Amino acid sequence: MSEESPELEARLAEQDELEPAESFAEQANVSDPEIYDEFENEWPDCWRQAADLLDWETDYEQVLDDSNPPFYEWFTGGSLNASANCLDRHLSARGDEAAIEWIGEPVDEDNRTYSYEELHREVNEFAAGLREMGVEEDDVVTMYMPMVPELPIAMLACARIGAPHSVVFAGFSADALATRMNAADSEYLVVADGYYRRGEPLDHLGKANEGLSGVNHEVAATVVVDRLGPNNDDFGHGLTDNQYDYDAVVAGHSGAVVEPVDRDAEDMLFLMYTSGTTGQPKGVKHTTGGYLSWTAWTSQSVLDIKPDDTYFCSADIGWITGHSYIVYGPLALGTTSIMYEGTPDHPERDRLWEIVEDYGANQLYTAPTAIRAFMKWGTEYPDDHDLSSLRLLGTVGEPINPRAWQWYHQHIGDEECPIVDTWWQTETGGMMVTTLPGTKNMKPGSAGPSLPGVDAMVVDESGEPVGAGEAGYLTVEKPWPGMLRTLYRNDERFIEEYWEEYSDTDSDDPDDWVYFPEDGAKVDEDGYITVLGRVDDVINVSGHRLGTMEIESAIVDVEGVAESAVVGGNHEIKGEAVYAYAITEDGQEPSDSLRSQIESSVQDAIGPIARPERIVFSPDLPKTRSGKIMRRLLENIADGDKLGDTSTLRNPDIVQEIQQEATGDWSAERVSPPRQPHRYCDNLFCPPAVSII
């Protein structure tokens, strides 16, 4: 980052607002600025425009049923099938065109192109296989897979037969898999035998089998995708009872045609488990009509996707970004979606730019985490490639600072590509706050205004709008089609987590219900929103939300640890990293061995992405007189900031002691033992480059 030119530094100081290039605006899918007033005046009927992007088997009768807030229903009375909308309806016009361009990590490996016709055929064949195994409508099928094409195939096959899917990020631990299968009461699993990281084949089926041993009900069938081929012999895995080879399942149903099942607009399309402030992950429920219309509309309006585009999102499908903006949104629009299995720096640091050039990508949607790494690596890597095919750039997962924004704009977009800095989360289903690139100016560091029809506001503690330039809490005042419908089998927690803070929960009036995503923000005089970060006990690591309680529980599971506290601290590349403070039991001395055990416990319980950046041992934690841990002070210590008032603590002296211990540990960069590349990600890019939310 220190290599920036003086010219760019000067522009950074002067340039706080940029217009989209006229050439872009002229061809943009949405170019009329009147759309904001139109959607406000016609709300909620404005969302017919999103529904009109889909094919409906039965026309909906009502756009929004808000009679039972916050359990809103969209496009009531309508029915459709997500798989048919992503595949069947494109066959006549785009059957021979590429639907998915899959790029494996080993560079000498044959990549795969799936035309819409080929993808349709394999989805039908696998859907027939799932049915033969006993999968019925509304059965939850779990998927625990890396970035291989069989993952979206399995998702679309489930959607075809009306079986919701629950994708578990492949970097999560065996325990995390078991927890999610138990919570969903899922009896079916689709898994890969392994995957590649930095050219090395890695075992995944062993981890999956370990997770299956923790499932507290019978698992009827597991389908195993052979990703490694002969390299799987290194791990000695054979298929056990109720385990089936994916290729054999597909071959056994060659040529099968499965009629897509009509699903009510409010029928569940998928579950996605996300971290919360408690130790139990939240099962976010997304439905067929509202979610699919939302991802299609935002893909078209914000990402400017057209059917003849080649579109590249570097997220992992194990996160919501990959669901919405690799699979459902792009395929609903009939475009070509790139899937990349590997990391941005293997075999060289120009891997993403090589992909953009080779495939002629028109959009790139990635994370600020990745952009900060690209900056650190230097401009020589993108400069070696022709990136002129790019028409639009996007960021997702966390706020992007102005310097990174400007670097991205200059060195990747050649100062011609608009950048859409998007705020949204698993629960929203898709983008909520960002610019429409053909109608709005861009402000580096600010996500932008609410999308048309989205009523996002920044309010104070009493729920009143804050003034321009003031910080407050981000809220959404009206429902939207892509919103989560509830938390799976837990309506009470749904209300408690998202609606209680600013809503009148005794009211039946939808105007009295306000969605609170638990993010802080500020707003300027033009209504542009800058998201400041989480205000709950969730840490955003490289755009991925991790619950502090889950990490703390894994730490205290280690013998010799009595108590722990986990906070998020600033990190140059990841944005935020996990910093852990641990109190040892009497008689247990802090040691590198204990550090190693803590790291292993966190990795085993959650996954390598949650592994602490630093671990500090302390005889106590800063606590109020009521016993509450003052995490703010621990964050100050992690960031090297000045400490605020400590007079209210029952043990104020401990703060300085922790600070001295932390300085001694961290300044020496003590990380024990030396870290080896681990099973799924390198804790910098987890997944390959992106996602969030």
- Residues 538-556: pLDDT tens digits? 777 876 767 776 788 789 8
- pLDDT at residue 648 in the model: 52
Residue, of 264 and 4, whose pLDDT is higher:
264
Predicted TM-score of the model (pTM): 0.83
- pLDDT at residue 384 in the model: 97
Q: What's the pLDDT tens digit per position in 117-140?
A: 999 999 999 999 999 999 999 999
- pLDDT at residue 628 in the model: 60
Indicate whether 498 pLDDT > 90. yes
Indicate whether 175 pLDDT > 50. yes
- pLDDT at residue 73 in the model: 98
Mean pLDDT of 440-451: 94
CA distance 241 to 30: 53
Question: Picking from 430-434, 537-541, 630-634, 683-687, which range would have the lowest pLDDT averaged per residue?
Answer: 683-687
Q: Which CATH code fits 538-667?
A: 3.30.300.30
What Cα–Cα distance (Å) separates residue 586 from each residue in 209, 220, 561, 589?
37, 47, 9, 8
- pLDDT at residue 14 in the model: 42
Q: What's the pLDDT tens digit per position in 382-414?
A: 999 999 999 999 999 888 888 889 999 999 999
Distance of CA 515 to the CA centre of its chain: 20
- pLDDT at residue 532 in the model: 79
Question: Picking from 255-259, 403-407, 524-528, which range would have the lowest pLDDT averaged per residue?
Answer: 403-407
- pLDDT at residue 649 in the model: 66
H or E segment to which residue 272 belongs: strand 268-274
Indicate whether 359 pLDDT > 60. yes
- pLDDT at residue 514 in the model: 97
Q: Which CATH code fits 83-261?
A: 3.40.50.980
Band (pLDDT 50/70/90 cuts) for residue 225 is very high
Band (pLDDT 50/70/90 cuts) for residue 4 is very low
For the four alpha carbons of 672, 146, 261 and 133, in that order, the dihedral sign comes to negative
Tokens 């600010």 belong to which residue?
446
Mean pLDDT of 569-576: 81
Name every residue whose Cβ is closer than 8 Å to that of residue 467 and which is 6 or more positions away in sequence.
none
Indicate whether 685 pLDDT > 50. no
Please name which of 620, 616, 615 lies closest in space to residue 599, comparing C-alpha atoms: 615
Q: Would you tell me which CATH number, out of the four given (3.40.50.10420, 3.30.70.1350, 3.40.50.12780, 3.90.550.10), belongs to the domain 6-54+300-534?
A: 3.40.50.12780
Residue, of 462 and 299, whose pLDDT is higher:
299
Indicate whether 647 pLDDT > 80. no
Identical fold for domains 6-54+300-534 and 83-261, yes or no, is yes
Mean pLDDT of 356-378: 92
Q: Tell me the domain boundaries of the chain.
A: 6-54+300-534, 83-261, 538-667
Average pLDDT, the chain: 88
For the four alpha carbons of 368, 366, 579 and 650, in that order, the dihedral sign comes to positive
Please name which of 175, 214, 105, 210 lies closest in space to residue 682, comparing C-alpha atoms: 105
Mean pLDDT of 206-231: 94
DSSP label at 327? Answer: I
Q: What's the pLDDT tens digit per position in 9-48?
A: 443 344 478 999 899 999 999 999 999 999 999 999 999 9
Rg (C-alpha) for the chain, rounded Å, is 24
Indicate whether 338 pLDDT > 70. yes
Mean pLDDT of 570-598: 87
Indicate whether 682 pLDDT > 60. no
- pLDDT at residue 642 in the model: 79
Phi-psi region of 573 (alpha: psi -120 to 50; beta: other; left: phi over 0): alpha
Question: Picking from 72-81, 129-138, 471-480, which range would have the lowest pLDDT averaged per residue?
Answer: 471-480
What Cα–Cα distance (Å) separates residue 64 from each residue in 11, 76, 178, 455?
46, 7, 36, 16
